[in-house]
Amino acid sequence: MGINWEQVCEQSKRRLRGSAIRDLLAITTQPDIISFAGGLPAPELFPVAAVRESFDRVLRDHGADALQYGPTEGFLPLREWLAERLSARGMRATPDEILITSGSQQALDLLGIVLLQRGSTALVEAPSYVGALQAFALREPGYLPVPMDDDGMIVSEASGLLEARAGRVELIYTVATFQNPSGVTMSLARRQALLEVSDRFGVPLIEDDPYGDLRYDGTPVPAFRALAGGADAAYLGTFSKILAPGLRLGYIVAPQPLIRRLVLAKQGTDLHTDNLAQQAVHDFVRHNDIDQHIVRIRDVYRMRRDTMLAAMERYFPPSCAWTRPAGGLFTWVTLPESVNAAALLREAVGQKVAFVPGVGFFTDGSGTNTMRLNFSHAGPERIEEGIKRLGEAIAEHLALAQAHRVAALV
């Protein structure tokens, strides 16, 4: 009879959630398209020469060790460096509380393996990071989406949802700082309240913080693990946005009982993260001032954000609204309710500009009139030109819709 692959793979459909973003990356590689779609860092800012020196030094001095199998927990000196850096920010972080992961994405997968199963429930922001929804989907949970405002997740709503379910929720997931996709940052008061909710209902709180270092204005808000009563919160960090995403190096900081389970899960999924990359990144942070490098990234991205926001003021119709993020990589646009951003995207791509329709960031199919724009990847001139094109595409779309409505009335 042979293998009927459609039938064999059928039951996996429930948990394999395609990502519009990944599919769009194919488009973004066409050089004539100005893409605000991906979450790509600016490659011209990668410290290539210094990274090259670090790989060379590690392979020269510790080559055989770096190429051999390594511990699942990760390269100890890198975990020690992270523990020191995070502790200096008031976070609880010993090397034993840190697991190196193959990018933050893997930390999300491992958390799903340990905390979720079919029938579990994850409380998430609406909108939420699509990669987290993809990772969690592998475990087939249900979701409780919590609306956001300019101060982040509306914690009183989260509390109400938990109350209504008597706390029967398996995890709370938040990108509290410069959220992907919205760009919004949760206020300190909300963080304290959410920590209190997590504690009261005994539900693990997971903070995903890929962008925290990329603040362009204002003062930092502490991570949950740096707050009073935050010792039980899990914290996800990454080198993707401050160094280079291609190396796939992330980490999770969490209480040891959780770390021990995550290590077992990681043994089953990839044994350990690239040993050479870990050693080279450790060499890099020892021989270079990463904070100075971060300042350089911030200066460039701040300007790009400002360029994009100013261009939107100029070129977007007044019926559009958008966030003004103090950091991170994204702004979030709300179009008039009648606009379907996916339909708009097809027209925009025709005009050689791309973005991500917002619907994929929601768990309930809402947000059809929203979109995410990235301002870190393209240079200022392309941002200006791309926003101009996008503004025209939106205006045309609205005019066409208006014409249809008039025609329908006649």
For residue 95, cis peptide bond before it (omega within 30 degrees of 0) = no
**Euclidean distance between CA atoms 135 and 278, whole angstroms:** 23
**Euclidean distance between CA atoms 264 and 364, whole angstroms:** 32
**Of positions 86, 98, 105, 124, contacts a copy of itself by CB under 8 A:** 105
CB of 50 to a copy of itself, least distance (A): 10
Residue with smaller CB distance to a copy of itself, 258 or 383: 258
**Euclidean distance between CA atoms 247 and 22, whole angstroms:** 18
Name residue 88's beta-bridge partners.
none
Q: Counting every residue, how long is the chain?
A: 410
CB of 408 to a copy of itself, least distance (A): 40
User: Position 38: which residue type?
Assistant: G
**Euclidean distance between CA atoms 168 and 171, whole angstroms:** 9
The pair of structure tokens assigned to 269 is 């999924």
CB of 3 to a copy of itself, least distance (A): 4
Q: Which stretch binds a copy of itself (CB under 8 A): 84-92, 100-108, 333-341, 401-409?
A: 100-108
Judge contact between 43 and 298, C-beta under 8 A: no
Contact flag: residue 180 with a copy of itself (CB under 8 A): no
**Euclidean distance between CA atoms 258 and 110, whole angstroms:** 10
Q: How many CB atoms lie within 10 A of CB 287?
A: 11
Contact flag: residue 71 with a copy of itself (CB under 8 A): yes
**Of positions 30, 87, 94, 269, contacts a copy of itself by CB under 8 A:** 269
Per-residue contact string for residues 46-65; x = within reach of a copy of itself by CB under 8 A: x-xx-xx--xx--xx--xxx
CB of 221 to a copy of itself, least distance (A): 22
**Of residues 127, 144, 103, 187, the one with CA closest to residue 331:** 127
User: Position 380: which residue type?
Assistant: P
Contact flag: residue 261 with a copy of itself (CB under 8 A): yes
Residue with smaller CB distance to a copy of itself, 80 or 199: 199
DSSP 219: -
Contact flag: residue 237 with a copy of itself (CB under 8 A): no
Residue with smaller CB distance to a copy of itself, 62 or 302: 62
Residue with smaller CB distance to a copy of itself, 256 or 402: 256
The residue count for binding a copy of itself (CB under 8 A) is: 89
**Of positions 78, 193, 203, 320, contacts a copy of itself by CB under 8 A:** 203
Residues from 1 through 30 that contact a copy of itself (CB under 8 A):
1-9, 11-12, 15-19, 22, 25
Contact flag: residue 206 with a copy of itself (CB under 8 A): no
User: Position 175: which residue type?
Assistant: V
Residues from 270 through 289 that contact a copy of itself (CB under 8 A):
270-277
